[in-house]
Amino acid sequence: MSNQPPYGNPPGGYPPPPEGGGYQGGGYPPPPGGGYPPQGGYPPPGGAGYGGGYGGPPPENKTKTLGLSYNVAALLCYLPFCLCCVNLIPCILWLATEPKENRFLRFHALQGLILFGFFMAILIVLRILGAVVNTGARITDSGVAFLGGNLILLVINLVFWVVVLVVHIIAMIKANQMQMWKLPIIGDIAEKNS
């Protein structure tokens, strides 16, 4: 065994402070630049102060809630609603938390929300039409009406889902490019109310 004392302070208590005070060598040395950041604000840029630039004001062009850049936040408003309605979360979040001055993000959030409602209304109408066709075919006991009606509804549903996907992809691309792309009627409503 060595005669060196264990890590930490020597047995018998703390050593007395040296004459003149100052840094004694135990633990971490104070940060460069005099120790603490200046009073009344954030540390100066360039890493002095909080050890490499931590803290400070939030960067510009970032959302207040999650700190996402505006183009990514706007893109999230147009996720296709076939993904379990995930796009509702960012739409409602940005409308609730972003200030009125952030018209870009509020516009896309409101347009995405209205677009969701519009497509959901069309989807409900298509489901009602499907129920009517099936009920009518059962009442008349007509296999031709059943097959013909369901085939027409299948084609309409396929066209609907392709349109939904194309509109969402275009909207995501435009939002990512920081463009305020307006849909024909929905865009005007969103622009007036954002």
Q: What is the pLDDT of residue 47?
A: 44
pLDDT at position 49 is: 41
Structure-block tokens of residue 35: 């120790």
Flag whether 40 is in a domain. Answer: no
Q: Is the pLDDT of residue 3 over 80?
A: no
Report d(CA 47, CA 28) in Å as an integer: 18
Amino acid at 68: L
The band of 194, judged by pLDDT with boundaries at 50, 70 and 90, is confident
**Across-strand partners of 69?**
62
Alpha helix positions (H), 56-185: 70-76, 88-97, 103-140, 143-176
Identify the bridge partners of residue 62 per DSSP, sorted by sequence position.
Answer: 69
* Structural domain range at position 146: 70-193
| Alpha-carbon span 53 to 31, nearest angstrom | 12
145/119: higher pLDDT = 119
**Contacts (Cβ under 8 Å, ≥6 apart) of 63:** 69, 70, 73, 94, 97, 98, 105
Tokens of 46: 């360039």
Mean model confidence pLDDT for the chain:
77
For residue 38, being part of any structural domain is answered with no
Q: Does residue 114 sit within a domain?
A: yes
Question: Are the CB atoms for 183 and 107 separated by under 8 Å?
Answer: no
77 is a domain residue? yes
Residue 177 belongs to a domain: yes
Residue 8 falls inside a structural domain: no
Q: Does residue 159 lie in a domain region?
A: yes
The model's pTM is 0.63
Read off the pLDDT of residues 119-140 as tens digits, 9 standing for 90 and up.
999 999 999 999 998 888 888 8
Q: How far apart are the first and last CA of the chain?
A: 75
Number of domains in the chain: 1
So what's the pLDDT on residue 108?
Answer: 92
Instruction: List C-alpha distances in Å: 175 to 30, 67, 81, 137.
Output: 46, 17, 16, 45
- Higher local confidence (pLDDT), 67 or 9: 67
User: Is residue 47 included in any domain, yes or no?
Assistant: no
Task: Please write the tens of the pLDDT for every residue from 55-104.
Answer: 433 456 788 888 888 889 999 999 887 677 888 888 999 898 888 888 88
